[in-house]
Amino acid sequence: MYEFPCPPNEICRPTFWNIPEWLHIALYIIAPIVVVIFLYGLWRHVRHWRRGKGKFSLLPLVERAKMWLVMGVAAKKVVLDIQPAGVMHGLLMWGMFVLFLGTALATIDWDITRPLIDPHRWRLLQNGFYFLYKTILDIFGLLALIGLLLAFVIRYVQKPERLDGRSGKRFFREDLWIVGALLVIVLTGFAIETLRLATQPIETARLGERVMYCTTCSVVGWRLARWLAPFDLDALLTLHRIVWVFHGSLVMVFLATVPFTKMGHFLISSANTFFKRLEPAGAIPQIENLEEQETFGVGKIEDSTWKQLLDFDACTRCGRCQDACPAALTSKALSPKNIIVKMFEAAHAQPPRALHGEVIDAQELWDCTTCMGCVHACPVSIDQLGTIIDLRRYLTLSEGSVQSSGANAMNSMERQGNPYGFPKADRWKWAEGLDVPFAEEGIEYDVLFWVGCAGAYDARAQKITRAFVTILRTAGVHLAVLREERCTCESARRLGNEYLYQMATLEIVEALKQYKFKRIVTICPHCYNTIKNEYPQFGATFEVIHHTQLIHELLTNKRITLKPTPLSRLTYHDSCYLGRYNNLYEPQRAVLRALGAEGHLVEMPRSRAHGLCCGGGGGRMWLEEKTGTRINQTRVTQVLAVNASIVVSACPFCMAMLDDGAKALGVDENLARKDLAELVAEAL
């Protein structure tokens, strides 16, 4: 039996207790082999990512490190998820982390401090600290065990829909191996402690004037050991040795397989979080030197960036993105999880497979509303939307295979400066009788009002535009509109037509630079996001504000006052391009409270960051919706579910979609649809 050194009259960790020295030596021979296999597996991943396009950078290091600690190490999105899956991941992650930390401390105690310091005088794990160490490991081992049992129930009993789809038999077996192996490792760890305590006298240690007993620290082991007291001592010792060998062997095999299975996500996903894009969430990466490109977007896996390849490997197939996706919710072809999993399969396929048509169906891509629900929901910082946009770019620019209705809208954007196909001269008909001035050179304005195509041409949105002008006039805001205004082609960009978007952007930026204004205000969240977050890619930075922000500011500064307004039960629909894209949730609700909505405002279950898209974003406004349930009707159904008689929005696209949904469901007369500006204008 291997003897472990310990200071006289002290209690310390009995490392390798009851283990022959030859097994001790075997462990030190096998461990380096496992480390080499582990590192080889990681190297294979890194080699794969390096094949992707794009520049690799660790900068800015401090900002990335902070983000990594919060999102990668602390796993903020997972821990704050109070759903069973979130609780399971929290228990499992922290439980296994503390157990790993305990193993690391034991290694330091035995392999570093023992050779360097006389173990008969001092050990790291001795007396009070050792007992505290045992207590913490027992508690967190128990938490890990609960987490593993929850994982088994969720994955193999409940079987939520989000875990199905592309997960496949291979990943089913991987999940079973990971959950099963970890479960056995934790259970055999408890068994080793239990068997040792069953053959040993009660351990004591002095902490100051207080004597501590093993029963106070071995929360699980000591209580189980009591049941083994009647058994033969030699049999318990033999069983302890067998379990120790099995436990150690399983740990070694499990560690060696980590980089080759989904379990590697705890490293790969952490790395993915570290390398998350730091640009504004609403800014699509620019195709630089557009005229010099031979191909556009992603047509084959070799066109992917290194970060996209990392994204594909980092996916844990948890399905949170699928749960957040309005297309998946309404039974359409798209599942953002399946897109990433299929791209992972294609990235590792031999020989390489054709992406479009063979791996990815075009309908999956056109179903996307670019609401960013998937990106926001992903706990490991995968950019599903960026991959979908790049795949769309290939279809639109390289193949020319966008839907005919989308192609017609983009042709109208190019020729008429708006997607509706109306004459350019009609853009300012909404302003008749309002005496709204055009911007002139040499005059500085408080705000340049960017009306947008919907606000200028859509009959319903024109009411919002006029209401907002009334508010600005009442507040004495010095405003002007841009005579050269045209469509920003934001939806064309998200449909993949980067060429049309850049052409329009350069034209608009040149026009804007001719005039003086303190900031730009717009009623359209899509225009707001584009000018604020994407124009800086072209060297044009403007201060941009949404009309709901300006209304809130005018109310706060008492430049406008509101008369008491009787309101019935209402709810607010969050625009994706204000909310998830730009984190604007509170100004709109503050305005509603100023209108007297306190006590009348009821939030839908899917609101704020979890709000459901209206279905009009990402160019979907111009595409036909032929499959599944219409997204706007699903959203209106959610409005009706909270018994609201008014639904308030802050986006002309959302207004159009909610209007269509209410009419299709036959609730046009029972459900009023109002923009925030209209409610405020009525209360002036």
Same-domain check for residues 263 and 317? no
Q: Is residue 41 part of a domain?
A: no
- Is 71 part of any domain? yes
Task: Report pLDDT for 207.
Answer: 45
Residue partners of 187: CB distance under 8 A and separation at least 6:
145
Decide if 14 is inside a domain. no
Residue 206 pLDDT: 46
pLDDT tens by residue, 262-291: 889 889 998 999 999 999 988 999 999 998
Structure confidence at residue 564 (pLDDT): 83
Distance CA 144, CA 135 (A): 14
Question: Which pair of tokens denotes residue 215?
Answer: 């029963």
Residue scoring higher pLDDT (113 or 343): 343
Alpha-carbon distance 92 to 73, whole Å? 13
Cβ neighbors of 546 (< 8 A, separation 6 or more) are 521, 522, 523, 525, 528, 578, 584, 587, 650
* 380: CB partners within 8 A, 6+ apart: 72, 265, 269, 270, 272, 273, 314, 315, 316
Same-domain status, 542 and 616: yes
517 and 562 in a common domain: yes
Residue 12 and residue 91: Cα distance in Å, rounded? 28
- For residue 294, the 8-state DSSP code is S
Q: What is the CA radius of gyration of the chain?
A: 31
Of the listed ranges 3-12, 295-304, 511-520, 529-538, the least confidently predicted one is 3-12
Opening angle at CA 373, ends 531 and 158, nearest 5: 175
12 inside domain:
no
Same domain, 596 and 641: yes
Domain boundary among 244, 273, 302: 273
Q: Report pTM.
A: 0.91
Strand partners, 206: 211
Sign of CA dihedral 255, 261, 262, 265: positive
Question: Using 50, 70 and 90 to split pLDDT, how confident is the model at 1?
Answer: very low
**Is the domain of 485 the same as that of 627?**
yes
Domain check: are 356 and 269 in the same one? no
**Domain end residue (candidates: 401, 436, 459):** 401
Q: 574 and 628: one domain? A: yes
Share of the chain above pLDDT 90, in %: 70
- Average pLDDT of the residues of the chain: 91
Span 431-435, average pLDDT: 94
Which structural domain range is residue 310 located in? 290-401
d(CA 616, CA 632): 8
Overall average pLDDT of the 658-681 stretch: 97
- Any domain includes 591: yes
Asked if 117 and 137 sit in the same domain, the reply is yes
What is the number of structural domains in the chain?
Answer: 3
**Residue 375 reports pLDDT greater than 80:** yes
Chain segment 516-525, per-residue pLDDT in tens: 999 999 999 9
Per-residue pLDDT at 165: 52
Domain boundary among 401, 434, 456: 401
**What is the b/e burial string over 584-593, where b = at least 16 CB atoms within 10 angstroms of the residue's CB?**
bbebbbbbbe
> How does pLDDT run across 158-194, given as a tens digit for each residue?
877 777 655 555 666 788 899 999 999 999 999 998 8
- Residue in the structure block whose two tokens are 């769309």: 392
H/E stretch holding 14 reads none
Which of these ranges, 115-129, 143-157, 342-356, has the smallest mean pLDDT?
Answer: 115-129
Least trusted range by pLDDT, from 70-79, 130-139, 403-412, 473-482: 70-79
Q: Please indicate, yes or no, if residue 202 is contained in any of the structural domains.
A: yes
Q: Given pLDDT bands bounded at 50, 70 and 90, which one contains residue 31?
A: very high
For residue 250, is it within any domain? yes
Range with top average pLDDT, 125-134, 143-152, 537-546 = 537-546
Q: Are residues 256 and 330 in the same domain?
A: no
- Asked whether residue 362 falls in the same domain as residue 448, the answer is no
296 and 442 in a single domain? The answer is no
Q: Is residue 135's pLDDT more than 90?
A: no
pLDDT confidence bin for 81, thresholds 50/70/90:
low
For residue 79, is pLDDT > 70? no
Based on the fold, state whether residues 415 and 332 are members of the same structural domain.
no
Which CATH number fits the domain that encloses residue 381? 1.10.1060.10
588 domain-assigned: yes
